[in-house]
Amino acid sequence: MITALLTGVFVILYYGYSIYLLRGTRFETRDLAVCGLIAALTVILEVFRLPLPTGATVPLLSPVPILLLSLLYDRRKAIMTGFVVGLLVILFVPGWAPVHWAQLFVEHLVCFSCYGYASSFGTENRLQVTCGLILTYILSIYGHTMSGVIFFSQNAWSGWGAWGYSIVYNFTEYIPLFIICTVVVLLMPLKQLRKAVRNENYTTAV
């Protein structure tokens, strides 16, 4: 009962705010090209995974493209791209097929679109970027963990229970991934890249 309540509240708040944020979003031809490229790159990186002793697998920096799309280009378009990726992985990435239709809304659509929130606290300095990254990681891990508790409790190890299994399984997969992604993103010259993207947008508009 508590698990269903926590999941329901999370889903309502997440999609409610996302829909509110995305209202009026329009895609120009250039936006479609950029977001399409980011979506394809994310799916490709999701295919390459490192297996762990827990049975989990770590993808090859798959969050980075959407994180950069949010930080350098446009947060709303990054969120929309994440929703598209959440559908594409079902078709192209082994192991991502949902076991129940509700899993699509608890995990698939949340755990990629949330990377678009990376720029929620600003992009002017590394502290703002780090806070945004932490927010996306919390949302992603929460979605994965709740999905594990609800849809994969039958896979729990003996004596662990659904919560213990899901927490350990997902934390061992995503904590190392997110630490590496944070290092990669923060080592990039974000200000220079952002200026280059903005200058390109201006040149294209002119």
DSSP readout, 69-87?
A: IIIII-HHHHHHHHHHHHH
Following CA atoms 167, 146, 116, 85 in sequence, which dihedral angle do they give, to the nearest 10 degrees? 100
Report how many domains make up the chain. 1
Token pair 């790159």 is found at 41
Domain span at residue 44 reads 28-49+58-193
Decide: 168 and 54 in contact? Cβ < 8 Å: yes
Those residues with Cβ within 8 angstroms of residue 11's Cβ, 6 or more apart along the chain or in another chain: 105, 106, 110
Whether residue 206 is contained in a domain is answered as no
CA-based radius of gyration for the chain:
17
| Local confidence pLDDT in tens for the 206 residues of the chain | 788 898 999 999 999 999 999 998 999 999 999 999 999 999 999 999 888 887 778 888 999 999 999 999 999 999 999 999 999 999 999 888 899 999 999 999 999 999 999 999 999 899 999 999 999 999 999 999 999 999 998 888 888 999 999 999 999 989 999 999 999 999 999 989 888 887 766 455 44
Question: Nearest Cα to 118, choosing from 163, 143, 82?
Answer: 82
Count other C-beta atoms under 10 Å from residue 11's C-beta: 17
Following CA atoms 173, 178, 179, 185 in sequence, which dihedral angle do they give, to the nearest 10 degrees? 150
Q: What is the CATH number of the domain that holds 98?
A: 1.10.1760.20
Backbone angles phi, psi at 83, to 5 degrees: -60, -40
Whether residue 202 is contained in a domain is answered as no
Q: Coil, strand, or helix at residue 49?
A: strand
pTM beyond 0.85: the answer is yes
CA distance 192 to 21: 27
CA 149 from centre of chain: 19
Whether residue 18 is contained in a domain is answered as no
Whether residue 184 is contained in a domain is answered as yes
Phi-psi bin for 122: left (phi > 0), alpha (psi -120 to 50), beta? left
CA distance 148 to 153: 6
Whether residue 104 is contained in a domain is answered as yes
Whether residue 21 is contained in a domain is answered as no
Whether residue 4 is contained in a domain is answered as no
